[in-house]
């Protein structure tokens, strides 16, 4: 198992990744998240874990770039859950819901990749093969029924 990377945030706002021994940006940290790399961000002065703050800062920057995920209405609803008896439930609910969503997204992407890899000709070829097989089975079944009726007719004449 890979060790957790430690990123230190200094008073000058710079972030230093102790794993690769260099200064990094929020975009670099975003890359770690996307690559599923485990890390923690520590305030260099107080040793406080500020990972959530950095992740929230990345989310805020992403929200400003284009079509936001969190509309004002969604943010208002989230804020209303703070201090409510359902606050702990909301956290686990969001976590599980996002897990299911990401799993479904991965499945759809894998299916689309398979279709693209196979190409439209491959899809039509598979469809034609299945249709041909069904047609052959249908003809064979009809032939078997005709033969059985013919054999039954011969037995009646005897």
Number of domain units in the chain: 1
State the pLDDT at residue 93. 87
d(CA 129, CA 35): 40
Q: What is the mean pLDDT of each run of 10 residues along the chain (158 residues)?
A: 88 94 96 95 96 96 89 90 86 88 86 71 75 81 67 63
Give the domain range for residue 59.
1-69
Write out the H or E segment, with its range, that includes residue 43. strand 39-43
Rounded to two decimals, the pTM is 0.64
Residue 109 lies in a domain: no
Residue 41 is predicted with a pLDDT of 98
Is 48 in a helix, a strand, or coil?
A: coil
- The most distant pair of C-alpha atoms in the chain lies apart, rounded to whole Å, by 106
Residue 76 lies in a domain: no
Position 87 scores a pLDDT of 87
**Which pLDDT score, from 0 to 100, does residue 121 have?**
72
pLDDT at 139: 76
pLDDT at res. 145 = 63
């Amino acid at each position: 198992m890979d060790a957790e990377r430690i990123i230190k945030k200094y008073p000058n706002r710079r972030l230093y990744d102790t794993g690769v021994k260099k200064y990094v940006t929020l975009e670099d940290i975003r890359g770690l998240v996307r690559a599923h790399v485990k890390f923690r961000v520590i305030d260099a002065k107080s040793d406080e874990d500020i990972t959530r703050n950095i992740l929230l800062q990345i989310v805020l920057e992403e929200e400003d770039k284009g079509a936001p995920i969190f509309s004002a209405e969604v943010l208002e609803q989230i804020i209303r859950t703070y201090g409510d008896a359902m606050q702990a439930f909301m956290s686990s609910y969001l976590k599980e819901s996002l897990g299911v969503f990401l799993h479904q997204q991965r499945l759809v992407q894998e299916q689309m990749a398979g279709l693209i890899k196979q190409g439209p000709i491959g899809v039509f070829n598979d469809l034609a093969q299945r249709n041909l097989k069904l047609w052959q089975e249908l003809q064979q079944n009809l032939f078997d029924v005709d033969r059985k009726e013919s054999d039954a007719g011969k037995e009646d004449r005897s």
